[in-house]
Structure 1
Amino acid sequence: MIRELEAQERRLVLRGFTHDDAWHLGSLLVELARLREAPVAVDIRRGVQQLFHCALERATADNDVWLERKCRVVERYAESSFLVGARFRAKGTTFEASSRLDPDRYAAHGGAFPINVAGVGVVGVIAVSGLPQADDHALVVEALERFMQGGRNVVGA
């Protein structure tokens, strides 16, 4: 699983990331969630600035707290929250037990993914909360793949 998650992060690299890109990517993610009737909250940040946020029907304020916690993991490790959690589990422990970080502030559960720009590095985070962690992660990855397939922000395009 770790190799697959690492491969996703190597593959899903943008050539740039603007405020308009955040709107298009967030709107695409919301549309995918609506098609699945997923009760999620969606968040996109660039640095400390929130560029996009949407809470769909049946999403709760708890989802916003989970978004914050998952985004902090990406901001700290520059990897997806799912990958960070998987690395701890592969060592026979948990993030909560071994990271030495406050679990009320950090959650290495799937759903937050780095926005990585070629030649720059991680500039932000895209995150979903409301589904089981593997599904949160998969929804974000699907949205990024579709965004890139649309010809927007593809490295080398």
Structure 2
Amino acid sequence: MPSDQDSWPTLDELRREESELELAGLSETDAYELGTLAVAAASEQRLPIAVGVWRSGRQLFHCGLPGSTADNDVWLRRKGRVVTRFEHSSLYVARLCQDKQVTLAEKYGLPASRYAAAGGAVPLRVRGTGVVGWMGVSGLPQLDDHRFVVDILRKIQQ
């Protein structure tokens, strides 16, 4: 029986997607705009998610929408630590682990209590600088969390 992970993008597709999501900058105002755009889109769809935007280890935006819980906040931070550590989306790292049939703990010695290889957090790359932070959501199935963030980042680029 195929798993939902069979429909995930490949590592090459995820790398390409990440390279297309460069931002001009990430100021506090930029983070607020990203976060409020995500909250508006999630509110319109009545999604029970937590949204976060981080830069250089500092949380610049957070919102827990109706139906989200404190557990979503914990998942959000765990996914974000994966992005900070690997400078790839948490879905990329989840796919990498799936393809190699290992866990983060087995491959990298990272405790599951602090790191989650699960989709939903995406690196924020600034043109000419590289990864400066991450944006994530938690509350939906992990592929949907990932796609939601990517859609918001694409909207902000327009």
Give TM-score scaled by structure 2 length: 0.91
What corresponds to 1:152 in structure 2? none
What does residue 29 of structure 1 align with? 38
Amino acid at match of 2:145: D
Counterpart pick for 1:14 among 16, 20, 23: 23
**61, 77, 82: which one aligns with 1:68:** 77
The 10-residue stretch of structure 1 (133-142 or 26-35) with the greater mean CA deviation from structure 2: 26-35
Which residue of 106, 109, 113 maps to 2:118?
109
Q: CA deviation at 1:72?
A: 0.4
Across the aligned residues of Structure 1 and Structure 2, the Cα RMSD in angstroms comes to 1.0
**Conserved 8 A contact 2:120-2:138:** yes
Is 1:127 the counterpart of 2:133? The answer is no
How many Å separate the matches in 1 of 2:98 and 2:26?
32
C-alpha distance in structure 2 between counterparts of 1:134 and 1:97, whole Å: 23
Aligned counterpart, 2:3: none
Alpha-carbon distance in 2 for matches of 1:130, 1:68 = 13
SS in structure 2 opposite 1:89?
helix
Within-5 A mapping of 1:51-66: 51-66=60-75
How many residues matched?
149
**Displacement, 1:92?**
2.5
Q: Deviations over 1:9-33 (max 9, x none)?
A: 0100112111111011111111111
Alpha-carbon contact 1:89-1:95 (below 8 Å) kept = no
**Superposition deviation, residue 98 in structure 1:** 2.6
Q: Which runs of 5+ in 1 are unaligned?
A: 150-157
Q: CA deviation at 1:48?
A: 1.6
Indicate the residue corresponding to 1:140 in structure 2: 149
Which TM-score applies when normalising by structure 1?
0.91
- Tell me, yes or no, if structure 1 residue 87 matches structure 2 residue 96: yes
CA displacement at 1:110 relative to structure 2: 0.4
In 1, the alpha carbon distance for the partners of 2:105 and 2:118 equals 10
Alpha-carbon distance in structure 2 between the residues aligned to 1:120 and 1:43: 21
After superposition, the C-alpha distances for 1:23-66 in whole angstroms (9 at most, x for unaligned) are: 11111111111122110000001112111000000100000100
Which runs of at least 4 in structure 1 moved beyond 2 Å after TM superposition?
92-99
Q: Deviations over 1:97-126 (max 9, x none)?
A: 433101000001000000101111110110
> Residue 70 of structure 1 aligns to which amino acid in structure 2?
K
